[in-house]
Structure 1
């Protein structure tokens, strides 16, 4: 077998497809491997470039292949799809592996950073908490909807629901019988259990922030709490992979979507690309910063107040989330501390310096 220089891997649960080429881009191998023999096959190869889509288990396999001496690159699925023969109308594992291999060879391709086991351990807690919150919201809506069928209307909001739910069940004037009340009480017990699970996750996140210096510096930003700080540090990993704060904000998806052509710039709504969870937390933090800005006198808060008066609440919210993303990059990449009164200093143009001299 000729020496392979690049291998594209299409991951799956049980059968993994590989596609390898040599230095002349000639196909050397195209085969399917079982999950059990995947690492064994790569252990017998000379170190080469291995490309995979950034999907489920990709970071795990990437760490294992790196330990074997291979150079591993993860590609976002939307970047590999255009290289698949047949386009979106024809899809199978062999074509996917070939497309991944081809995309990895492009000189200007962008790759996904490989997460460490510690990062994924922290993010697991965040995903479990997010799942519990979604389940709790669905349960509250279900219980409220069932009560409506019997003429019991509870106010909106989870706190108001907790305050009135038990009283509504104990009201003897409703048409609820014993069987229905028992079923609703079981739902209430499940709600209490979900609250406890969320509280435990919050405690684990607080422990991570307590022992992580980067997360503590991130939490100093106005509107960012332990949840956002922990998620940002665990998600980003190495902030030096981003050239500047603008690139980091674009990666999160807090910048306008461009539809420019013919030299005319057209900006639309924000892209909402990147990590949905981290972007959601940033917008929640921005909402807190905008709401409380009028009570502070620092430079950043004054800017928020003036911006809101000029462009309104929602546009200010997007602008603050974007600014928070750029501040996060500066904190994580440069090791700086947040200063709400910071004034950027820019060097004067060369012509002005000459005139002054």
Structure 2
């Protein structure tokens, strides 16, 4: 056992499959254990490199095993898949994790802290409530349209639903359904407001989030999510690496020395990418009131490119600015525009 230098773990809900190998990548042991047995094993094992896939429960397990003095690394699952040999099983997956981690060019995922995971959970709950509210609104619009009542698009007009029901004769049972949907809509709106207030309170105590709020177009929701995702930003080599990690750079399909760039890659966290694009669109809507180099660059891009293309390009620029502010411990300063200079 003393010859073991790297251990790969295939994580499961109740059972965990472990593959240990020496410095020449020769298998030393393979074992299956429960969660309690796994933690007891690493508590008494000599310090080595432990590698897991970045999946459910991986960040908690990384913190636990790291507390025992081991070096813990997380790998994105799609980087492990090419190293799976022949038929797939849990022990083969653990061996493939070790094989992938031994590659010198492999990219790893930084384990998240408890506060980062808590904040991400808050964002996921808010996102689920928003989806439910949209579904509830669409149901009310659809049911009313079935009875010849057309309301403007959006959930703001749903607040006028009681007056709409009073103006139009509808079956009593249908009115009861609308009242239940309207009560559910109000409940979801209250929950979303409470979560947003909690996010703003946490953001007020986060210096990184306060610096991210100085970026034009970035609001509290985007700033708090970027703060939880970036951390100190040291896991990315440069700003373009972070932009690429959230899928805001062109996808390449180049061959024969000829470069062929397609649309954005859409990799990484979909929610962060969506929020950054929305921030870019909010900035573009108020472009006539904006100043500085980013505003001048956006105006020049809009003169020759479609607004959707400019929105994605501006979102990538905002992601790079966010990484620069976090990694260099600074705030965004609006430079004078080129025309003014």
Is the TM-score greater than 0.5? Answer: yes
Aligned position for 1:65: 65
Task: Report the Cα distance in structure 1 between the residues aligned to 2:175 and 2:3, rounded to whole angstroms.
Answer: 71
Could you list the per-position Cα deviations for residues 128-181 of structure 1 after superposition, in whole angstroms to 9, with x for gaps in the alignment?
A: 111111111111112222223322222211113333x223322343xx322221
RMSD: 1.6
Aligned position for 1:5: 5
Q: In the alignment, is residue 238 of structure 1 matched against residue 235 of structure 2?
A: no
User: What secondary structure, in the 3-state scheme, does the structure 2 residue paired with 1:310 have?
Assistant: coil
User: What secondary structure, in the 3-state scheme, does the structure 2 residue paired with 1:240 have?
Assistant: coil
Aligned position for 1:292: 286
Q: Quick check: 2:230–2:323 contact (8 Å CA) kept in 1?
A: no
Q: Quick check: 2:291–2:334 contact (8 Å CA) kept in 1?
A: no
Q: Quick check: 2:9–2:94 contact (8 Å CA) kept in 1?
A: yes
Aligned position for 2:319: 325
Deviates more, 1:277-286 or 1:59-68: 277-286
User: What secondary structure, in the 3-state scheme, does the structure 1 residue paired with 2:251 have?
Assistant: strand
Aligned position for 1:170: 166
Task: Report the Cα distance in structure 2 between the residues aligned to 1:91 and 1:223, rounded to whole angstroms.
Answer: 46
Deviates more, 1:36-45 or 1:260-269: 36-45
Match of 2:274 among 269, 275, 280: 280
Task: Report the Cα distance in structure 2 between the residues aligned to 1:119 and 1:146, rounded to whole angstroms.
Answer: 41
After TM superposition, the score normalised by the length of structure 2 is 0.95
Aligned position for 2:309: 315
Q: In the alignment, is residue 337 of structure 1 matched against residue 334 of structure 2?
A: no
Q: Quick check: 2:292–2:336 contact (8 Å CA) kept in 1?
A: no
Q: In the alignment, is residue 206 of structure 1 matched against residue 200 of structure 2?
A: yes
After TM superposition, the score normalised by the length of structure 1 is 0.91
Task: Report the Cα distance in structure 2 between the residues aligned to 1:223 and 1:325, rounded to whole angstroms.
Answer: 12
Deviates more, 1:138-147 or 1:324-333: 138-147
For structure 1, the 5+ residue unaligned runs are 345-357
Q: Quick check: 1:2–1:28 contact (8 Å CA) kept in 2?
A: no
Aligned position for 2:111: 114
Task: Report the Cα distance in structure 2 between the residues aligned to 1:331 and 1:121, rounded to whole angstroms.
Answer: 23
Q: Quick check: 1:144–1:153 contact (8 Å CA) kept in 2?
A: yes
Q: Quick check: 1:218–1:328 contact (8 Å CA) kept in 2?
A: yes
Aligned position for 1:349: none
Paired positions, count:
338
Q: Quick check: 2:51–2:74 contact (8 Å CA) kept in 1?
A: yes
Task: Report the Cα distance in structure 2 between the residues aligned to 1:16 and 1:299, rounded to whole angstroms.
Answer: 53
Aligned position for 1:105: 102
Aligned position for 2:19: 19
Q: Quick check: 1:254–1:279 contact (8 Å CA) kept in 2?
A: yes
Deviates more, 1:50-59 or 1:232-241: 232-241
The alpha-carbon deviation at position 76 of structure 1 amounts to 0.1
Task: Report the Cα distance in structure 2 between the residues aligned to 1:220 and 1:258, rounded to whole angstroms.
Answer: 33
Task: Report the Cα distance in structure 2 between the residues aligned to 1:282 and 1:309, rounded to whole angstroms.
Answer: 22
The alpha-carbon deviation at position 40 of structure 1 amounts to 0.9
Q: Quick check: 1:155–1:161 contact (8 Å CA) kept in 2?
A: no
Q: Quick check: 2:291–2:336 contact (8 Å CA) kept in 1?
A: no
Task: Report the Cα distance in structure 2 between the residues aligned to 1:162 and 1:209, rounded to whole angstroms.
Answer: 30
The alpha-carbon deviation at position 342 of structure 1 amounts to 6.3
Matches within 5 A, 1:37-186: 37-86=37-86, 90-163=87-160, 165-173=161-169, 176-186=170-180
For structure 2, the 5+ residue unaligned runs are none
